[in-house]
Amino acid sequence: MLFSSLPAVAAALQWSKLPPIPDREGFAWPFAGVSGGALLVAGGANFPDKRPWEGGTKVWYDKVFVLEKPTGQWRAVGKLRAPIGYGVSLQTRDGVLCVGGSDAARHFPDVFILEWSHGKLKQKPLAQLPQPAANACGAIVDGVAYLAGGIATPTATGALNSFYALDLRWRGDRWTALPTWPGPARMLATAGVNDGVFFLFGGAALKAGADGKPERVWLRDAYRFKPDEGWKRIADLPRVAVAAPSPAPVVNGRLLILGGDDGAQVSTPPTEHKGFPRTVLAYDPQADKWETLGEVPFSLVTTPAVGWNGRIVIPGGEARPGVRSTEVWSAETAPPDARPKK
């Protein structure tokens, strides 16, 4: 299969704003996805009163919002069973698969499907993870959900070297531990899937700093996983990308890393932070090659990437350390006549 040229990929990404999330601050890493043709955003965390450097306290949320069409308005339609954020959102035929996550005190092994049907919100529990995990990444390949890495507790000084699978084609009643990638344990990586292959890009490892607190080790390595072949290291990312929107969107056969934190401002005072990188990194699996594909018009990390009616949707996230955004960005990737009919 011959992929379209890189200019064709760039031409497919024309970004515009959808209605903003109806919250004063916006949320870092909510669950998000599509069910019943509508876009759902649920949970997440922010600093509602003061910024963290001003002594502000992070708050987790249980709110669920729905946007039933791109030209519509968001509505609050219910609550999760508990406040939670920093989990993994994966798209299934039944709704949004929500995996793991955290609140202020702990990380969770919980897994559930979030469904919007006939104007009602439904939540269906599924098999729990073998251990709690937040800040992980995942994707679905041929009906099997995969979850990679993350951290098990809020104070962990090491990331998880774990790779789990849940077969959604059957009962989906048990997560299976699989061999892991031949590289460092990591969190806040970007997952992706293309042509039946799972991809794992970048992220950060953790170590104990001089004060005993967790310290990041920035990663550029990348891997692919084929169920019948196992893991293989692929070309390193051109730069570090941590907490980029995940799973990575695929446009014209290329997996896209939309920004992500490159660690360049890790020592910058938060009031002087200029925002996260906006460059798009495009990976061509056929050539095992990365190219830079212009920029996105936003600086958002710790947020899912959602496919909705021929669009890539980035629903809010973190614009700078401690600062969230209510912006919802959308890029159309399919011509109108190729989009699902409603």
| Mean pLDDT, residues 176-201 | 98
Question: How confident is the model at residue 143, as a pLDDT?
Answer: 95
CATH topology of domain 6-338: Neuraminidase (2.120.10)
Q: Per-residue DSSP letters for 291-305?
A: EEEEE-S---BS-B-
**How is residue 21 written in tokens?**
């999330």
Instruction: Provide the mean pLDDT of the chain.
Output: 93
Whether the per-residue pLDDT at 172 is higher than 80: the answer is no
Question: How confident is the model at residue 6, as a pLDDT?
Answer: 58
Is 62 strand, coil or helix?
coil
Question: How confident is the model at residue 202, as a pLDDT?
Answer: 98
C-alpha 68/C-alpha 82 separation (Å) is: 24
Q: Per-residue DSSP letters for 131-155?
A: S--BS-EEEEETTEEEEE--BSSTT
Asked if 258 contacts 305 with a C-beta cutoff of 8 angstroms, the reply is yes
Is 73 strand, coil or helix?
coil
Whether the per-residue pLDDT at 7 is higher than 80: the answer is no
**Confidence label for 342 from pLDDT (cuts 50, 70 and 90):** very low
Is 337 strand, coil or helix?
helix
The residue extents of the domains of the chain are: 6-338
Asked if 32 contacts 304 with a C-beta cutoff of 8 angstroms, the reply is yes
Q: What percent of the chain has pLDDT over 90?
A: 90
**Confidence label for 173 from pLDDT (cuts 50, 70 and 90):** confident
**How is residue 98 written in tokens?**
């929500």
Tens of pLDDT along 83-125? 999 999 999 998 999 999 999 999 999 999 999 999 999 999 9
Whether the per-residue pLDDT at 9 is higher than 80: the answer is no
Nearest to 301 by CA among 168, 204, 231: 204
C-alpha 6/C-alpha 10 separation (Å) is: 6
Question: How confident is the model at residue 13, as a pLDDT?
Answer: 82
Numbers of helices and strands, H then E, in the chain? 1, 28
Asked if 176 contacts 164 with a C-beta cutoff of 8 angstroms, the reply is yes
Please tell me whether the overall predicted TM-score, pTM, comes out greater than 0.75 for this model.
Answer: yes
Q: Which residues contact 287 (CB under 8 A, 6 or more apart)?
A: none
C-alpha 246/C-alpha 190 separation (Å) is: 5
Asked if 85 contacts 101 with a C-beta cutoff of 8 angstroms, the reply is yes
Asked if 324 contacts 265 with a C-beta cutoff of 8 angstroms, the reply is no
Whether the per-residue pLDDT at 263 is higher than 70: the answer is yes
